[in-house]
């Protein structure tokens, strides 16, 4: 595991920290590999009851590191790379949700794009009042392929539709009202206290009973229809390899409005 993800243990509690603070913990290839290794460890560690997921440096996760999108010279290579990247991202959300431990997301600062996937794949999400949430993909010429089912499951179809099509930033209070997070607190100190209280409550539960309860919740219904994840990866790849994504990402980097064709 590389240092883009930190995994530490304190008795029955693991802390999974996204650790690219200079990039607001945006996910790149190295972070994906580190997350895979961490999820491998957590999936088989029955001594743990809780996983607390957070971000270093005052932000949770700003989504995909856009410097990696479309970096290949050949269009076929861009298409294949984007499809593989998006597919793997979706698999990681599924794996986090399927952990036998209770997953608590502690959110401050930016929780954008793929960061929303982590928020919704967690069992419990707590945000400080400075947290900001956004699904900005359509403003970058991309699609919210793998996070969309998670948003629908957490918020409901109507609220998720509004979020991914309008693509604006919502604050923590609005995220709480919409059900994106279950609790909003004043600041970092209050966030630490709230997470500590939840962890203490969960630690009173029996490890096997907690894991079985999570499995029963998952058995209530599938996240998305069969084939959706692959169709989403293909849609993301088509957009990521196209002209709109090139313009959208360039506009994002240059801090200007995109100039869409047509």
- Domains belonging to the chain, first-starting first, are 5-203 (3.90.226.10)
Residue among 247, 222, 226, 245 nearest 235 (CA):
245
pLDDT on residue 202 = 96
Rounded mean pLDDT for each run of 10 residues along the chain, 262 residues in total: 94 97 96 98 95 98 88 76 95 98 98 98 98 98 98 98 98 98 98 98 94 96 95 95 94 96 82
Q: Residue 194 in contact with residue 126, Cβ under 8 Å?
A: yes
pLDDT on residue 72 = 58
Q: Would you name the residues annotated as active-site residues?
A: 137
pLDDT on residue 211 = 95
Give the Cα separation of 113 and 236 in Å (integer).
13
Q: Tell me how long the chain is.
A: 262
CA–chain centroid gap for 88, Å, is 12
pTM comes to: 0.96
């Amino acid at each position: 595991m590389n240092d883009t993800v930190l995994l530490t243990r304190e008795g029955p509690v693991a802390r999974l920290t996204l650790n690219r603070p200079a990039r607001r913990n945006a996910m790149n290839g190295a972070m994906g590999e580190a997350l895979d290794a961490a999820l491998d460890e957590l999936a088989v560690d029955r001594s743990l009851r809780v996983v607390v997921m957070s971000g270093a440096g005052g932000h949770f996760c700003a989504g995909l590191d856009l410097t990696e999108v479309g970096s290949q010279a050949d269009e076929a290579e861009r298409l294949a790379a984007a499809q593989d990247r998006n597919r793997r991202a979706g698999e990681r959300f599924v794996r986090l949700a399927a952990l036998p431990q209770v997953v608590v997301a502690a959110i401050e600062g930016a929780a954008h794009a793929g960061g929303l996937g982590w928020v919704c794949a967690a069992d419990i999400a707590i945000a400080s009042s400075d947290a900001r949430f956004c699904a900005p993909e359509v403003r970058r010429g991309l699609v919210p392929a793998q996070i969309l089912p998670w948003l629908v499951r957490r918020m409901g179809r109507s609220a998720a539709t509004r979020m991914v099509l309008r693509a604006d930033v919502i604050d923590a209070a609005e995220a709480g009202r919409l059900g994106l997070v279950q609790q909003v607190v004043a600041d970092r100190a209050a966030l630490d206290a709230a997470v500590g209280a939840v962890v203490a409550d969960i630690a009173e539960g029996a490890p096997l009973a907690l894991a079985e309860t999570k499995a029963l919740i998952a058995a209530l219904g599938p996240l998305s229809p069969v084939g959706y994840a692959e169709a989403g990866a293909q849609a993301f790849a088509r957009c990521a390899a196209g002209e709109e994504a090139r313009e959208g990402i360039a506009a994002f980097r240059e801090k200007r409005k995109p100039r869409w064709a047509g």
